[in-house]
Amino acid sequence: MKTDRILSTAGVCRIDSTKLRSYCNLMQGSLIDKWLFADDFVDSHVCFVRDDYLDNMNLGSLHKAQVVVILRVANIQHLDYEYQISTPLTALKIKNVLNQISNSYEFKPFKLNITEPKKSVNRFKSAFKRIRKNFFGKQGLDAKQVEQSSKQRFISRITKTMNIHELPSFKIVLLGSPGSGKTTAIETISNGKALKSDVSATDSVASDKSQTTVGIDYAEIKISGSHNVKNRKVTLIGTPGQIKYNFIWDMVGKTANAFIILLDMSRPEPLSYLKFFNNFLNKELGKKSQIYCALTHCDKYNGCITSIVDCIGVEFPKLRGIYKMDAREQYDVTTIVEDIYPQIEEEDEKNSVSYQISGKGKSATGAF
């Protein structure tokens, strides 16, 4: 069981604060303690401070932290602090210093006071869990099934089988870090007709972009399939990039046919994000097939794109496809969806055949 520790980022700039949060969230499995973040100088176990901020800082604020980690930006000499790391921040540097502190420093216990706003948030979360369970959980599904008789379900299935225009749409879910291009891609492929849930960003994401997704982005497009099935619908769903909304990934991911992980190449160590989302899909949802990767913001990547694609292919051999995509270009986004569609359709047909062979379906097509 990991111990909760408070980490204050009050002594660094917004960009470095965002990096610290992102890396710690992505590396939860390799960190000894669980790090909870605070933006102010509060009673904390660890506080990160830039060396060029020290001269103009009230040093009394630093006494609230049991350990101070100096982020060396100006490389000021002779700083009397045991823990120091140099810029730029990387996942490895952060992991090493935090695990070193966890292993060697004996923290003094202090009571973590929960403020009234925090209590209100917790009460809201509990209430939302209950609502979500009623509407989306097993209880809601069971209640719906009780309402329908066997005859009604049978007629409904027959109707869908005979009318090809009412075949259920294939669902493709887009995952990725904030700003990776999920909303833009869905807007682009739907000619601006997508339903969006963007709001003004007020947290750490605001340093990267003014708007952020808090629900889902939704669009439907029509695409031609095989076996003379025309105008088969494909539903595209964009998810929030912030980890605090991961319950939405879980909700929309359980019924998805395929996933596209958008990998923002402008971010430091982009492969760490691919590893995080790939692990989530495989471990949390058990979706081991139909996972694709699309590289975005490639113009801001300093290395060789061909080399990084080869690296991804070696490290993630189960990915069904790796693409380079400009989310603003309709051709790029459409090409990826059209390439993925036949593979989804083939997988769906295999599942239908397997369903029929197992004896659960009596239809000649196995489409139930």
Give the side-chain half-sphere CA count within 13 A for 293. 25
CATH domain 4-104 topology:
Rossmann fold (3.40.50)
Q: How many helices (H) and strands (E) does the chain have?
A: 11, 13
Q: Domain 162-357 has what CATH class? A: alpha beta
Q: Are 63 and 47 in contact (CB under 8 A)?
A: no
Token representation of residue 65 = 């932290």
Arithmetic mean of pLDDT over the chain: 77
Q: Are 225 and 340 in contact (CB under 8 A)?
A: no
Q: Tens of pLDDT along 145-200?
A: 555 555 565 555 544 444 444 567 789 999 998 889 999 999 999 887 778 665 44
Domains of the chain, by residue range, sit at: 4-104, 162-357
Three-class DSSP category at 81: coil
pTM of the model: 0.50
Q: Tens of pLDDT along 93-136?
A: 999 999 999 999 999 887 655 444 445 455 555 655 555 555 44
Q: Are 233 and 219 in contact (CB under 8 A)?
A: no
* 4-104 matches 162-357 in fold: yes
Contacts of 27 (CB under 8 A, 6+ apart): 91, 94, 95, 272
